[in-house]
Amino acid sequence: MMSLKFNLKSESILNGKSVIVTNLQQRKVSVQYNNVKDVKEYPYILGLAVTADIEHINEGRTFTIKLKKVDGLKQGMMFTFDKSQAKLINGKVNLWANRAGFVQVSIKGDEIINE
């Protein structure tokens, strides 16, 4: 039996969401999660809260993005993901299940350019 694969694009997931930066921190290596390689490639984690959503389904929700660079980003900063303002460069989105069986979304990218 073949398992279903998704081709999720960060642009389609983030587009139209206005966010506020709630947290910005350097990630830590965890032997429990075997994340040495991932932390080395994406050393920062950016916490965001959705303040407005063109689809009105994610307002008030929080999520994180793992980043290679965080230049110019700071807590309290607000921006909107769209073609004319903020963009996640080389964004990747993956789905994974934790040990309890809950499906999680992982968003990663090089950096966020806010024009």
CA 76 – CA 22 distance, rounded (Å)? 6
Q: Residue 95's Cα: distance from chain center in Å?
A: 12
- E strands within the chain? 17-26, 44-53, 62-67, 78-80, 86-89, 92-97, 103-109, 111-114
pTM: 0.89
Q: Which of helix, strand or coil describes residue 10? A: helix
Tokens read off for 24: 């910005």
Cβ–Cβ under 8 Å, residues 26 and 44? yes
4 — pLDDT class (breaks 50, 70, 90): low
HSE at residue 88, side-chain half, CA atoms within 13 A, is: 24
Residue range 52-94, pLDDT digits in tens: 999 899 999 999 999 999 999 999 999 999 988 999 999 999 8
